Structure 1
């Protein structure tokens, strides 16, 4: 469980008012003292995150958030952090400490609008005289039957775990390569190992794609761009699919056999983590960029920029060659992402391997709601190099 990347874990958020028992609930779920518990309102300031194994689900990340009714001097800042945590949330636990839960109902409605399952929790049930009456009242307010729990006694914790597992459901997990390959297919992974590549290891999208191909029963063959021709000659037949880094798209496309499908790790993750259809539509905005335009490049991870950095060097170079040397490009990384995107003519997001899908979709949704085109590194580079029509992704199966 501890080796499962955070982006691949189910993100469960605990939300409620100050002193509603959220931190005590996290401790009870983790079965250890993870969050600081106090009767003082506003004890939880920044979100407290705990990775754990959740029965019926597997690896999960549980986040305890600051109260959404915090009216202290720093309350607005704490609420902003709670809102950010909500954007990453796959399942929301809404904690009510009594029958008066109008504010909790508002938050539950917001989650449902985004398609996030809501599990209602009647906390501190050991302190409530009329538990059935309180349960009925919460059910009316939130529109869902709450689970009555006591973090102090442990009552209801097992039922809460089961309720979350039921809310998640047993739907088939999304896959990276989708319908592009099946068991027995040969897949060629072309991976540049330049100064931007981490020494001694592969980047996360490469590792996850390789593992999925092995799980599917595919035959994965790996090489660098300068060894691609030798690799192809060693194969008895062209590979079914060629996957490369977006930065090597042009060179790899020129060497890819006509009978092989072509894509990139970033394009695959555009569908795995985001809205691939919206990203393809957004790439059309590239043709309208000029010297007066402004573009936002968003990286999910934070790192020291390398000399050949794709988001800060290579992609800006391609954009300016297309739109003009005076094109304004802003870059944000990690959790930084503007609330107001309207100053931008285009948002280009990375593959999002460090984010869960809900987090990427929240950003995509913000751009769409503000009428700002949004695309992805791989899709943008394919468009800029003139090969977008050839590039495939799950759902865009191209018959050969």
Structure 2
């Protein structure tokens, strides 16, 4: 087999994207979603493998800045659109694309790469670690009530057409980015992503609806949602599916949740992607009837280990030496001394000093955003403590006050 790995040419996008669609089951994307995907594609960061004239593998990246503990926005490659044709398995195509991509990310000076995995087992061998989780809720609103904070009744809610509310919703999103590790700051055009609403994706529900929360004429929150009507002999039992819900203060946040709980002719609220520390868990009267499920979300790969660890702050003072394994990006392998604190001054430099903790770059990726505990990884045998007390010190320092979260996929 003679194959060629190279950068995507703009004229080849349709064929390249069809390879991706086929690998994910062969169901074509709705035209409006496909059009936006093409517009957002960074062709110079998109690669493919050609077998003759046929595209047989794809991979791309978006240029993001991702929030890390302490509020800094770190340049990151948002890895996306990865596929290998089923006719070309077990030939090293994925490995060759991951090699090329991480070399390119390093050359661009981006300390980290991030992705969401169709199957989590795929990316660990390339040094990615699951670093954030998402929570889904299915709430019985006939049985669950909300207790809302003072000031909730002062928040004004109003319906808005999603397209017309796009800028307002994006404004709320942008104000919240730095406070939640794992949240990407997007470039132009990304404000359209959550507003694309093809009929084929509604699963029998309504067109997407939007409600804005206002105080003193300023937008302080928004929610987008679908309603799926349903009836049984005893009456209505419709479902509200919450897509995005965000607010700048507790009262606006509670007002939006109360609104979706009280929509007429419905008895269920579904929210498929919420942070695991979502405040709504403290507003509901019965968390057991919220049917909580948790799964992995954002995976992180430290591309330049020293620069990545220096870019974030640490919850407590830390001074540890890591012995790091990294077979795929060997420039990260070896011993690194990390010193840092909550003031935003961190240093991560190579050292010949004795190691305090031994782990692979994958574990550092998992812990990087503060959502996964180094102590828990040690209990799983994935981190080894070589100096007594070093594990507790590092685990506390890496933790984050806010759980990391990816509000929107890419």
TM over 0.5: no
Question: Which structure is higher in strand share?
Answer: 2
Question: Which structure is higher in helix share?
Answer: 1
- State the TM-score, normalizing by the size of structure 2: 0.28
- State the TM-score, normalizing by the size of structure 1: 0.28
